[in-house]
Structures are given as structure tokens and as C-alpha cells.
Amino acid sequence: MKIRLDFVTNSSSSSFVVFGVSKDEINIGNEAYLNLFNEYVADNKGSSWFDLTDTQIAEMTDEEKIEFVNDELDSDELLNNDIINIGGQEHDEVGITPTTFIKSFPNEKIGDIKKITARELNKQFGTNFTEKDIKYYKSGWYNG
């Protein structure tokens, strides 16, 4: 028997497993938007289609950076990064999948997944989640 611990999809069904919180529990504040802007620039600068110059970036106010993020990225992009995942049938859960945890934190104990998830969510979104706020979510659906 094969046990899947991460996002699985084929032509007829999907499932998602994550330790995290409901998307509704995340209030994305200005600090998180600015972090997302900086990550976006770092990830995309140098690409042929990226049209912001260093001068433009340096002259942008925080409000302009926040507006840029709101205009250029959809809400799922705001919530996803290399560690944090958004998923579920309605894209309502945000957190760390077991597979991502194992890959990203190979020296950590799996028993610390809730504590580390809270830390990573807080780092990304400027929230104050604790280990007690982190829940186990699993969802599956048939797309027939």
C-alpha cells in the first residue's frame, strides 16, 4: 500500500494534506505585502519580461509597492511560497504539507511541524499564530 502525504492529482481525483490554518484566519498586513513585493522582485528581476528598473523600485513608496502586489499577483500567489502552500478543494487551507516539511526542514522532528508551521506563517504574514492555532487539514474530491 502506498501512502501519499502531499498534493496528489490525476484525471479524476485530487487531495490535499496540510498543517496550517484557514485562509480566513490570515490578515495580510502591510509588512506582509512589502515582504511579498521584495520576494517577487528578487525572484523575477533579470527575467526578460520584468520591466521594473532599479531606479523605479528605489523610488516606489510602500503604498505603491502594496498596490503593485495587489494589481500584479492573485491572492493564491500572495499565500504561496517555497514553504507555505495553499490548497484544498476551495483553496481554503494555508500551511506546510508533510512532504514540504521533510524537504525544507530535514533536521527537525516531525513532532515539531505545528510549531514550525506557526513560525513560518508568522514570518511570512506578520501574524501571531502559536502551535495551538495550527490544525491538520485533509481534503479530497472527485472531479468526474
Instruction: Quick: pLDDT tens for 8-29.
Output: 555 445 577 889 999 889 877 7
Q: End-to-end CA distance of the chain: give it in Å, rounded.
A: 24
Residue 52 lies in a domain: yes
Residue 111 lies in a domain: yes
Residue 109 lies in a domain: yes
> What is the domain range of residue 57?
8-142
Question: What's the chain's length in residues?
Answer: 144
Choice between 16 and 74, residue whose per-residue pLDDT is larger: 16
Residue 1 lies in a domain: no
pTM of the model: 0.66
Residue 2 lies in a domain: no
Which pLDDT value is given to residue 79? 67
Residue 49 has pLDDT above 50, yes or no: yes
Query: 121: Cβ–Cβ under 8 A, 6 or more apart, which residues?
Result: 20, 21, 26, 84, 94, 95, 127, 129
CB-based contact 25:36 (threshold 8 Å): no
Q: What is the pLDDT of residues 76-107, one digit of tens each?
A: 666 667 899 888 777 788 999 999 999 999 99
Count of domains observed in the chain: 1
Residue 3 lies in a domain: no
Q: Residue 66: enclosing H or E segment and its boundaries?
A: helix 62-72
